[in-house]
Structure formats: C-alpha cells, structure tokens
C-alpha cells in the first residue's frame, strides 16, 4: 500500500470512530489488546493474527501510557494492513522504506497526529524521521 493511501486510511478510521485512541479503535474492530509484563528482553509489542481466531495485540506494560498508545497504534497498523503470514521482524536499514514496519509506523503517526502538529506533511517525512518521531515517544516507566 502506498504511503498516501495508508495516511488516508488512518485518518478515515480516526474520523469514522471520532477518536485517535488505538485501544478504542481496536476494541471496535474486535481486536483484543492486552497489556502485560514480559520477561523477554527488549520486548515492546506484537500482533498475532490467525485464521478463525480474533486478532491479538500484546503490549509490554513496562512502558509509559503514552508509549503504550504509540505501540498499540503501530500494532493496529499491522493488524489492519498486513496479512497474518508477514514476518514483522525482517527489518534492515536497506528495506526500512519498503517494509511492513514503515507502513505500520506511517499508520500509527497518521492515526495519532495531524500534519498541523508536525513541521511538514507526514507523506514528506523520511522513513527514518517517522521512526524517530515514534521512538522518541516510547519510554520505559
């Protein structure tokens, strides 16, 4: 999916549900979101999609509320945009702009903020800038 289409989709969802809260949107879409402790080093969040089962998003509760909202928006992007057999961990410096991670980052940013809150339109930001904006807002408690 192209960047502008992802941005339009995220904004349409925000407008349709009249919220940018990814937890509320996930619930309305039948996606289960669970905050929980994790013993896995560096675990932030992940999405599980399986045929005949509801989609499930797991978020590490060790992060701040703002961080969990950003992580949930990113994972919601995966849940909405990507097939269940996509490998979400195959990200490298070479493929960041073409990767499902970039698509989920664009979705999250477009869902959470508008262009007026940034110095330039989201579709003009580099993949690295989009990731940096989201990463800046992800902190442990």
Per-residue pLDDT at 49: 87
For residue 56, give the H/E element and its range.
strand 56-60
Domain boundaries, the chain: 3-136
Cβ contact 25:17 at 8 Å: yes
Whole-number Cα distances in Å, 39 to 44, 87, 109: 11, 22, 28
Per-residue pLDDT at 83: 76
Q: What are phi and psi of 36, to 5 degrees?
A: -155, 160
Residues 6+ apart with CB under 8 A from 141: 62, 63, 64
Per-residue pLDDT at 87: 44
Coil, strand or helix: which one is 84? coil
pTM of the model: 0.88
CATH of domain 3-136: 1.10.10.2910
Q: What are phi and psi of 45, to 5 degrees?
A: -165, 160
Predicted confidence pLDDT, tens digits, the chain (141 residues):
899 999 999 999 999 999 999 999 999 999 999 998 877 778 899 998 888 889 999 999 999 999 999 999 999 999 999 875 444 444 555 545 558 889 999 999 999 998 889 889 999 999 999 999 999 999 988
HSE value, Cβ hemisphere, 13 Å, CA-based, for 74: 23
The first and second tokens of residue 77, run together, are 């992007």
Per-residue pLDDT at 84: 58
């Amino acid at each position: 999916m192209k960047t502008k289409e992802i941005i339009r989709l995220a904004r349409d969802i925000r407008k349709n549900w009249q919220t940018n809260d990814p937890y509320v949107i996930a619930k309305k879409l039948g996606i289960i979101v669970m905050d929980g402790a994790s013993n896995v080093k560096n675990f932030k969040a992940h999405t599980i999609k399986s045929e005949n089962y509801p989609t499930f998003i797991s978020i590490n509760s060790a992060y701040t509320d703002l961080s969990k909202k950003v992580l949930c928006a990113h994972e919601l992007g995966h849940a909405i945009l990507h097939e269940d057999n996509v490998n979400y961990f195959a990200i490298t410096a070479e493929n960041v702009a073409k990767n499902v991670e970039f698509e989920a980052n664009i979705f999250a940013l477009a869902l959470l903020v508008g262009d007026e809150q940034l110095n330039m339109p989201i579709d003009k930001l580099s993949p690295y800038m989009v990731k940096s904006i989201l990463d800046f807002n992800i902190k442990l408690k």
